[in-house]
Structure 1
Amino acid sequence: MKKATISVIAILIILVSIIVYNNEFDMIVKDETVNIEKESIAVEYALPKKKREKPGLILFIHGDGPTNKNGDEGYYPAWETLAKENYISISWDKAGVGGSTGNWLEQDMVDRKQEAEKVLKWALEKFDLDLRKVGVWGASQGGWVITKLLNENKDVKFAIGVAPAVNWMRQGRFNTISEMEYEGYSKKKIDEKLLTETQVNNYLKENNYQGYKDSNLEKEVLEKDRWDFIRKNMDLDNTSELEQISKPYYLVIGDHDLNVDTKETENIYREHINKEYLTVYPISNATHRMLKPRHQKESRMTVVETIFNPRRIFAPDYFKALKEIASKKEI
């Protein structure tokens, strides 16, 4: 009995040690609040541990949803990769999330760009940086923000787009079809869902929220603030912005993406961005979030694997791409 108890305790100690070790990242993480007039933005940044030459800086621009400053610590493995290449990574709670004031659902992509510029201005004043290596990283919806930053802000020298879409409406349709096919729905059911979405979009175009609610088209009715957010952004298409790009853009796309038609994205980016500035990183066995395909839908296995080693849920080629981008002498 005593031997069994000792064995169990030993195993638990080993497991805890493994978890603690694998959840320590080779970087220094700090939090601050940026106060600008009546606005507060809660930021978090990761510093390289080793003192070398002046570091670079990458702003992480979230995708959709009420995301906190470190993406529920999902950014940490990427931040660690960049810290090892002498980059500071920084992100922040979306407006109205955590310690940030405001409401992210009231923002369009211009608002998000301006918010990012406030953080960038603060960071440029705070850190002694290699100004040739100041860039932005944007995931999914953040892709519409980073093209604006790259084109319109002289301090931004490069952009990393992770699974960005080009057109809001086409992206939504693709997402519906691919998700339902993945779940095994019949073509008839998919067509019915697409018809419903078309009808909802017609109400959105008319800004007829009451008509939408009265229609009973959807079991889960859009809240008014989400409705307004969609109306602000549903016409998004950044094709013309791609044509204006004259700085390095690194496109990172996975081959198991259910959210964004990455083939369309790659084709349009190649067509409209001067090849001198575009580098494409196709990531094998990667979902929309750059996770391994077995984590396409979050499960108990995802949670367990994240606890034991949060790096291992990601497709390895994603970190290889970030390392290659960050290690370039001239971005």
Structure 2
Amino acid sequence: MVTGERARDVTFPSAGAMLAGTFAVPDSRDPAPGVVMVGGSGPSDRTNDDFFPPIQQGLVEAGFAVLSYDKRGVGGSSGDWLAGTIDDFAVDAVAALDFLRAQPEVHAETTGLFGHSEGGWVVLRAAAGGDVPWVITNGCPGMTPAAQDRYALATALQAVDGITPDEADIALAVYDQLVEAGRRGADFAEATRLVQSFSIPASVEELFGEYWSETDESLWEFTKRKQDHDPIPDVLRLRCPHLATFGGADELVPVADSIGLFATAVCRAERHPRATLTVELFPHADHRVQVRGATALVPGYVETLARWITVGSWPW
């Protein structure tokens, strides 16, 4: 967690839930620009599985006030994330932004949103058409969850020793059938029967088993609601600068395709003139902007965020 006497636990309401988080401010007499940090997929808490604290600490040391919070139904927050949607999570992000802006230590007009992975989709939805001054996404796919998850599965299959292309294709075919089942509204029992109807090769059984064994009825229903979320309409509705950061060795997200989709959206005539795009790619870094085998952020990552918020997000 963030250290220092000016970090404290807070709670704030959002759409029938009470969300809990950590609010930290720099040692300064003047109000500081603020950053709301929104976690990724699954039951992410305010630390996002220990990914957020070093970023939060670095931003506070750079002069920013930072709020990170537990997803609804996680940690100290009430509610149930599995009952939610990207829209619900975006409502929570806006509630967090409003809370942060209301703090006397924070300069409201320069306070924006940072979202990691799924949190990138969330902050783009929260900022779309609104008065958010800037938005940052890290490792945010430019395509739907269904397309991104297929890429992640295909990448994982490529890393399995001894697997043949035909065997990998069988696992991907099961995945594709599940996506189609979700689109036609299949319940969990039908989805389970579908998986059981395939003869999964032994070479990929453990990997695919790990993927499917985590799914229960609640997660299946959540996945169905989320799988075809497209972030590009939200990108087109932005009225603020967008910084998209990626690790060049991200095995979960098709980085080049995501950058291309974001860049194509920027060229659309309907984009707001302030809705600029900045892309920062960190070679050899993974989904959490760490180099394989390392436990720390790549050098310069937090500095890049701080510099862009201070200078790059105000192009006019």
TM-score w.r.t. length of structure 1: 0.81
1:117 pairs with one of 94, 98, 119: 94
Deviates more, 1:191-200 or 1:286-295: 286-295
For structure 2, the residue ranges without an aligned partner over 5 or more in a row are 199-207, 268-272
Query: Structure 1, residues 209-241: CA drift from partner, whole Å, max 9, x if none?
Result: 222222325744420110111111111112222
Deviates more, 1:29-38 or 1:319-328: 29-38
Output the amino acid matched with 1:252. T
Deviates more, 1:204-213 or 1:137-146: 204-213
Count of residue pairs the alignment pairs up: 291
Measured at CA, do residues 41 and 24 of structure 1 come closer, stay the same or move farther in structure 2, by a change above 3 Å? closer
Confirm or deny that 1:74 pairs with 2:73: no
Separation in structure 2 between the aligned mates of residue 282 and residue 315 of structure 1, nearest angstrom: 11
The 8 Å contact of residues 285 and 315 in structure 1, kept in 2 or not, is answered as no
Measured at CA, do residues 287 and 26 of structure 1 come closer, stay the same or move farther in structure 2, by a change above 3 Å? farther
Aligned partner of residue 251 in structure 1, secondary structure: strand
| Residue 315 of structure 1, CA deviation | 1.2
| 1:260-279 correspondence to structure 2 within 5 Å | 260-273=253-266, 277-279=276-278
1:149 pairs with one of 126, 136, 151: 126
> Counterpart in 2 of 1:259?
252
> Counterpart in 1 of 2:81?
104
Output the amino acid matched with 1:197. Y
> Counterpart in 1 of 2:204?
none
Aligned partner of residue 82 in structure 2, secondary structure: helix
Separation in structure 1 between the aligned mates of residue 311 and residue 87 of structure 2, nearest angstrom: 30
| Residue 330 of structure 1, CA deviation | 6.1
Deviates more, 1:120-129 or 1:97-106: 120-129
User: Runs of 4 or more off by more than 6 Å in structure 1?
Assistant: none
The 8 Å contact of residues 160 and 250 in structure 1, kept in 2 or not, is answered as yes
The 8 Å contact of residues 56 and 130 in structure 1, kept in 2 or not, is answered as yes
> Counterpart in 2 of 1:137?
114
Aligned partner of residue 165 in structure 1, secondary structure: coil
TM-score w.r.t. length of structure 2: 0.84
Aligned partner of residue 63 in structure 1, secondary structure: coil
Measured at CA, do residues 197 and 37 of structure 1 come closer, stay the same or move farther in structure 2, by a change above 3 Å? closer
Separation in structure 2 between the aligned mates of residue 139 and residue 41 of structure 1, nearest angstrom: 18
1:319 pairs with one of 298, 302, 305: 302
Separation in structure 1 between the aligned mates of residue 181 and residue 84 of structure 2, nearest angstrom: 21
Q: Which entry has the higher C-alpha Rg, 1 or 2?
A: 1
The 8 Å contact of residues 22 and 69 in structure 2, kept in 1 or not, is answered as yes
For structure 1, the residue ranges without an aligned partner over 5 or more in a row are 1-22, 296-301, 303-312
1:172 pairs with one of 149, 172, 196: 149
| Residue 71 of structure 1, CA deviation | 2.0
Structure 1 vs Structure 2 CA RMSD: 2.3
| Residue 85 of structure 1, CA deviation | 2.4
Separation in structure 1 between the aligned mates of residue 222 and residue 66 of structure 2, nearest angstrom: 28
> By percentage of residues, which structure has more helix?
1
> Counterpart in 2 of 1:212?
191
Separation in structure 2 between the aligned mates of residue 314 and residue 35 of structure 1, nearest angstrom: 32
The 8 Å contact of residues 65 and 106 in structure 2, kept in 1 or not, is answered as no
